[in-house]
Structures are given as structure tokens and as C-alpha cells.
Amino acid sequence: MKLFFGKKENNIITMFRKHLDKVEEGIELLDDVIKDYMKSNNYRELCEKIDSIENQADVLRRGIEKEMYKGGFLPNFRGDLLGIIESVDKVMNKTESVSDIFYYETPYIPEELKDEFIKLSEEVITTYKHLKTAIESIFDNIDDASEIIKEVEKSEHNADIHEKNIKEIVFKMNLALSQKLHIKQICENMGDIADRAENTSDRLNILLMKRNIK
């Protein structure tokens, strides 16, 4: 079922979609960063683009919040949407943080771990894409949202598996403890992107439950 909104609400929804697209752009670029890094290709320019995208996402978020505080949507729905956009913005913030690790720290990643890092990155992207679709569904066809949220949870679980695989492998390797801990930190930060996406889907689920109670 498609919910119907007024002109003011539809303008905010358009801004909301732009913010979701911007965060998706940042996460896709991080995937490019990781794949280029594993192949020893030039990746630093991509990291700089992610910094720029994070700033653009912040501008969009502040614009949405400003418009929403002027009115638009019923108060309860407005509060839930504000919580969701803030939560999505945290996904972008963590994406930038991971990018910065590769940019400034140039971590050592053994060959044995590169495929797992790439798989982890791909699951992180998939988790966010499902989240984006789930959020958009509340404006397009709200009845689809619950099933899409389940896909967010599945993808986050898959990302968690790759994160654990990396940890299991790295602590069996003949590396300095500092290197092992550095790699552990990186995969946990990457996993945090998927975790934050799932946390956002939990907020979305609460919005849906409130609607069903009424």
C-alpha cells in the first residue's frame, strides 16, 4: 500500500532519497577502495571522494532536519523519520572512518585474507542496499518493508561470518601481535557499517510496529 503525502512531505521525501543515494555512493566507493587496496592499485583519490561525499551527506541531512522541524508529517512519524535519517548518517560516518584507516594507516593485509576482506566489503554493500530499499518502501509500498528488513538481517549476518573468518585466520598466522590487532580493528570497523545498517532497520521496524498497533 502506498501512503499519500502532501507537497511539503513529498519535498522532504525527495531530499530523503537523495541522502540515501549519497550514502550508497559512499559505501560503493569504499568497496572500490578496498578492492584497489588489495590489488595495490591507487586508491587514495577514492578515499578523498568519500570524505567529500560524507560532507555532502551531512549537508543533506541538516537540510532534511530543518525542513522537518518546520512541520510536515504527523509528529510521531516525523520523530521516527528523524531517528532513521540520523541512523543512516551514522552508516556514512563509519564508512568514512574505514576509508580513513586505509588512507592514513596503510595497513598490512596478508594475501590469505584479501579475498575475505573483499567478501566482507561486498556483504556490507548488500546490507546497506537492502536497508535503502526497505526505507524507500515506506514511501512506495509500506507493506513490503517487513520482508525487506529480513534481507538486511541476513546480509548483516553474512558480513558477520566474514568478519569472524578474518579474525580466525589472522590469529593463526605468524604475524606480530600489533599486526593481528590492526587487522582485527579494520574488519571490526567494516563490520560496524553493516551493524549500523541493521540498527537502522530496527528503527524502521519499530515505525512499522507502531503503525500496526494503531
Q: Where are the domains of the chain?
A: 7-213
The whole-number average pLDDT for the span 141-163 is: 95
Q: What is the CATH number of domain 7-213?
A: 1.20.58.220
The lowest-confidence range among 67-71, 160-164, 170-174, 192-196 is 67-71
Question: Residue 1: pLDDT band by 50, 70, 90 thresholds?
Answer: low
Question: Residue 211: pLDDT band by 50, 70, 90 thresholds?
Answer: confident
**Residues 9-14: contacts with CB under 8 Å, at least 24 apart:** 9/72, 9/73, 11/67, 12/64, 12/67, 12/68, 12/72, 12/73, 13/139
Q: What is the pLDDT of residue 37?
A: 97
The owner of cell 594507516 is: 105
Residues 130 and 152: beta-carbon distance below 8 Å: yes
Q: What is the pLDDT of residue 5?
A: 64
d(CA 91, CA 132) in angstroms, rounded, equals: 11
Question: Residue 131: pLDDT band by 50, 70, 90 thresholds?
Answer: very high
Q: What is the pLDDT of residue 214?
A: 40
Q: What is the mean pLDDT of the chain?
A: 93
Output the pTM of the full model.
0.94
For a pLDDT cut of 70, what percent of the chain falls above it? 96
